[in-house]
Amino acid sequence: MEDRADLTGLWHQPKREPLFALSVTALFLLLAGITTFHHEMWRDEMGPWLIARDSRSLLDIFHNIRYDGHPSLWYILLWLLRLFTANPEAMQWLNLGICAGAVYLIAESAPAPRWIRATVALGYYPVFEYGSIARNYALGLLLLSAFCRVFPRRHDRPLLLGVLLMLTANTSMLACLLAIAALVMLAAEAASSPPRLSNRTAPWWGLGIAAAGIIFAVWQMIPPPDTGYAMGWHVGLEPARLLQVLKNMTNAFLPLPKPGPGFWETQFLEGFSPYRHFSWLGALVILMVVSLSLVRRPLALCYYLTGSLGLLAFFYVKHVGYLRHHGFLFLCFGTALWLAGTMQPATLPGPLDVAAHHAERLVARILPAILAVHFAGAMIAAAGEYRYTFSAAKATADLIRSEGLDKLPMIADLDVSGMPVAGYLDKRSVYYPCGDRYGSFVVWDTARLLHSVVWGDPLQLARKSGSPTVVVVDDFVMKKFPPPASLQSELRLVGCRQAEIATEESYCVYLFDPKRTGQK
């Protein structure tokens, strides 16, 4: 019998190692916990919290997320969390705990040497993008890890696998695409290998649960006709867009930010001309080599190609995305290797079998370098979070509160950047000139694209009310629409706070008091 470990040095027979897993998880919590403690939440984190906070029921959640492009599971968890606390920072520690759960499963059960499991757990995505930034992506990482852990017992636990895929699909569009890939893999196996007589219908029940969950998730992500975010589809050939999508895949495998205050969403290797111009070739090499390395395990190959091509197609036709989104391409690669490590290899015709063995060895030899980049990226991100201000939303809210202005009416321009300030102040209603409405979370419809500059009609509303009003303007508004001299008598600059990472979330706070007109 062939020894998979001798062939590649990568796949090991899965062993449960709880003590080792606890040690790795403790290291993760130490590193990501420090990073989380120093992380100021930005708009994409605060938006779901405000939706959960301001939804009176689960039905309200489904209504309020209709423009967000994400399914409901993360929002439901936050809705439950807000029953116990009004502090949005609790969301950060919930997210950290979820990511720690994924780290534990990887360190305990992945069929790989200890050093691989530990390095993956302390890599860029778990530590920073999914562990320190409180979004719905850590939930997808946890559920996909749980799926991989249960997969070897799929014939005995088909319903559990179905539930895990149902939940995975309801975390994000990206995780949903990987849940679809897993469903296709399981369906292919069920169709080609009839189940045992005593358990003939159970696999199909599991597949049915997964399919129902995926359909439900897709239904939630279909936006209303007046959506104002990621509008349109790119179905024709656009060479520049295609090259960008392929470059993003290479970057996802090599997430190495530039050190410094603006490290987020940067790529250190872009500073080298050959990489900048030809990194798109890396994606093609990755797809070919990884596919060939999995060809002796056709179920894992089915999952990898369905998931990777599905993600790339989504990035091309709908939303190019950012590194946090592209990270799911690496997650697809990692989970495919995990699944493959639990499978017996098939015997292929001579030349193809030899090529597959060479590809397996190549993946095993390149993987340490890739994981070293991930670890270095995590260290750069952790150092950046420690030294620099991610978003000035928290500092701006503290400034408003320290001046005793937090109970006054508030106008925030722009809405997307004003939203996290409202969240830190626990304000239920803020006036947003984008869309000419009051609210807390952003409604991503076309109405918000009609932007009335804060120094015009919005202040007329405040003037009519006669009440002093806090005006929060972000860096974009301050540079493009500074306050006119005609308002000098009614405006008092309270202060400004600067972000160093998400620089668009830098703010200046003004107190607008119509009663000060004519006063010196």
Which pLDDT score is estimated for 23?
96
**Per-residue buried b or exposed e for 155-186, using 16+ beta carbons within 10 Å of the residue's own CB:** eebbebbbbbbbbbbbbbbbbbbbbbbbbbbb
Q: Per mean pLDDT, which range of 139-153, 184-198, 327-341 is the poorest?
A: 184-198
In a domain, 50, yes or no: no
Q: CA–CA separation, 317 vs 438, rounded Å? A: 33
Q: In the structure encoding, which two tokens stand for residue 71, read together?
A: 């399914």
**Per-residue buried b or exposed e for 294-330, using 16+ beta carbons within 10 Å of the residue's own CB:** bbbbbbbbbbbbbbbebbbebbbeeeebebbbbbbbb
Q: Per mean pLDDT, which range of 76-90, 121-135, 396-410, 473-487 is the poorest?
A: 473-487
Last residue of a domain, one of 368, 387, 406: 387
Res 481 pLDDT > 50: yes
Which pLDDT score is estimated for 518?
45
Classify residue 273 as exposed, middle or buried by CB count within 10 Å of its CB (0-12, 13-18, 19+): exposed
In a domain, 346, yes or no: yes
Res 244 pLDDT > 70: yes
Which pLDDT score is estimated for 14?
57
Last residue of a domain, one of 387, 403, 434: 387
Res 67 pLDDT > 50: yes
Listed in sequence order, the residues at least 6 apart from 35 whose beta carbon sits closer than 8 Å to its beta carbon are 127, 128, 131, 132, 381, 382, 385, 386
Q: CA–CA separation, 373 vs 324, rounded Å? A: 16
In a domain, 265, yes or no: yes
Which pLDDT score is estimated for 195?
58
Q: CA–CA separation, 191 vs 401, rounded Å? A: 62
Q: Pick from 134, 139, 71: which is nearest to 101 by CA?
A: 139
Q: Per mean pLDDT, which range of 4-18, 134-148, 478-492 is the poorest?
A: 4-18
Res 317 pLDDT > 60: yes
Listed in sequence order, the residues at least 6 apart from 384 whose beta carbon sits closer than 8 Å to its beta carbon are 257, 259, 260, 261, 263, 264, 501
Residue 299 Cα distances to 9, 182, 200, 343, 350, angstroms:
21, 9, 20, 9, 20
Q: Report percent pLDDT > 70 for the chain.
A: 95
Supply the DSSP symbol for 347: P
Res 1 pLDDT > 50: no
Tell me the pLDDT band of 142, cut-offs 50, 70 and 90. very high
- Do 326 and 463 reside in the same domain of the chain? no
- Do 365 and 412 reside in the same domain of the chain? no
The mean pLDDT of 363-389, rounded to a whole number, is 96
Which pLDDT score is estimated for 458?
87
Which pLDDT score is estimated for 194?
65
The mean pLDDT of 481-487, rounded to a whole number, is 91
* Helical segments of 388-440, H only: 393-402, 415-425
- Do 318 and 407 reside in the same domain of the chain? no
Give how many domains the chain has, as a whole number: 2
Q: CA–CA separation, 417 vs 507, rounded Å? A: 9
In a domain, 299, yes or no: yes
Domain that holds residue 481: 393-516
Which pLDDT score is estimated for 10?
60
- Do 401 and 357 reside in the same domain of the chain? no
Which pLDDT score is estimated for 192?
85
- Do 28 and 168 reside in the same domain of the chain? yes
In a domain, 75, yes or no: no
Residue 163 Cα distances to 159, 167, 183, 214, 405, angstroms:
6, 6, 11, 11, 48
Rg (CA), the chain: 25
Which pLDDT score is estimated for 11?
60
Tell me the pLDDT band of 506, cut-offs 50, 70 and 90. very high
Which own/partner pairs from 461-467 qualify as long-range (CB within 8 Å, at least 24 positions apart)?
461/431, 462/409, 462/411, 462/512, 462/514, 463/490, 463/514, 465/409, 466/514, 466/515, 467/408, 467/409
Which pLDDT score is estimated for 520?
40
Per-residue pLDDT reduced to its tens digit, 340-369: 999 999 888 889 999 999 999 999 999 999
- Do 399 and 377 reside in the same domain of the chain? no
The mean pLDDT of 210-239, rounded to a whole number, is 94
- Do 409 and 334 reside in the same domain of the chain? no
Which pLDDT score is estimated for 2?
41
Residue written as token pair 């993008």: 129
* Length of the chain, in residues: 520
CB 123 within 8 A of CB 374: yes
Which pLDDT score is estimated for 517?
57
Res 13 pLDDT > 70: no
Last residue of a domain, one of 355, 370, 387: 387
CB 291 within 8 A of CB 305: yes
- Do 152 and 11 reside in the same domain of the chain? yes
CB 424 within 8 A of CB 394: yes
In a domain, 78, yes or no: no
- Do 372 and 398 reside in the same domain of the chain? no
Tell me the pLDDT of the chain averaged across its residues: 93
Q: Which residue has the higher pLDDT, 338 or 467?
A: 338
In a domain, 65, yes or no: no
- Do 276 and 155 reside in the same domain of the chain? yes
- Do 310 and 454 reside in the same domain of the chain? no
Listed in sequence order, the residues at least 6 apart from 188 whose beta carbon sits closer than 8 Å to its beta carbon are 299, 302
The mean pLDDT of 56-68, rounded to a whole number, is 95
Tell me the pLDDT band of 451, cut-offs 50, 70 and 90. confident
Classify residue 50 as exposed, middle or buried by CB count within 10 Å of its CB (0-12, 13-18, 19+): buried
Angle at 126 between CA 121 and CA 132, to 5 degrees: 135
CB 490 within 8 A of CB 512: yes
- Do 369 and 463 reside in the same domain of the chain? no
Which pLDDT score is estimated for 6?
35
Which pLDDT score is estimated for 200?
63
In a domain, 15, yes or no: yes
pTM: 0.94
At residue 304, the 3 state secondary structure works out as helix
CB 99 within 8 A of CB 121: no
